[in-house]
Amino acid sequence: MTLTPDTIAKARSDTKLAKLLSAELCRLLGPGSPSDGEYDAFVLKLRSLPPGLHAMAATYELDVSMALDDLGWHFSNWHHVGFAHETLRGLQELGSPEEAALFQQALHIALAHWDFIGSPTFRDAYLNSPLEKALDPINDRLWVCFGYHGNGGVALVERWVPYARRHPDRVSVINNGTV
């Protein structure tokens, strides 16, 4: 089923709407995450989505990375500059200015170490590296923002439903001409 403003309005529970959003992303992008050679195509697919769905898809992996690891590992696991820029756009679209500013700072730092992040030695050399030390304060702040250290933060995926209820026109493919 294609997600429309009407189906969003009729989703009485947040759980139901979260399932509809996930199903729509899976329908439009396919299941799973792109592998290394598919990032360019994935970024193009992201750019074809309505702004809200784009934001959700582009920030999902950051949310997972911050729940499990940190920004250094995020940039290693998602080693694609275009995808990083789409993630930044997604944070801005979701109305997360502090998180977007922090991610932009982290990306600036990461780009100076981009070859190291993509190297076979990263896995063994990242711990206590200058890159990790530079990213640590940003990681700490993002963990608070996303609620991974308590203090009332909200994970990115938990922002999807409120966003969709506020902006159903920015989530629906019907209104954006991408059906």
Segment 15-40, tens digit of pLDDT: 999 999 999 999 999 887 777 678 99
Q: Within a 13 Å sphere around the CA of 33, how many CA atoms are in the beta-carbon half?
A: 12
d(CA 27, CA 47): 15
Per-residue model confidence (pLDDT) at position 150: 67
pLDDT in tens, 36-91: 678 999 999 999 999 999 999 999 999 999 999 999 999 999 999 999 999 999 99
Are 20 and 14 within 8 A, CB to CB?
Answer: no
Residue 26: what pLDDT? 93
Whole-angstrom Cα distance, residue 84 to residue 80? 6
Instruction: Please report the pLDDT score of residue 174 as a whole number.
Output: 75
Segment 89-97 shows an average pLDDT of 97
Average confidence score pLDDT of the chain: 93
Domain ranges of the chain: 5-176
Chain segment 125-177, per-residue pLDDT in tens:
999 999 999 999 999 999 999 998 766 789 999 999 999 999 999 999 875 54
What pLDDT band is residue 179 in, cutting at 50, 70 and 90?
very low
- Using CB atoms within 10 Å of the CB of residue 79, give its burial: 0 to 12 exposed, 13 to 18 middle, 19+ buried: middle
Position 101 pLDDT exceeds 70: yes
Greatest pairwise CA separation for the chain in angstroms: 51
Q: What are 37's two structure tokens?
A: 């050679």
Structure tokens at 116: 């190291």
Are the beta carbons of 105 and 138 closer than 8 angstroms?
A: yes
Cα 98 from Cα 144, distance rounded (Å): 11
Question: Rounded distance, CA 117 to CA 152, Å?
Answer: 31
Say yes or no to pLDDT of 14 above 60: yes
139, 65 Cβ separation under 8 angstroms: no
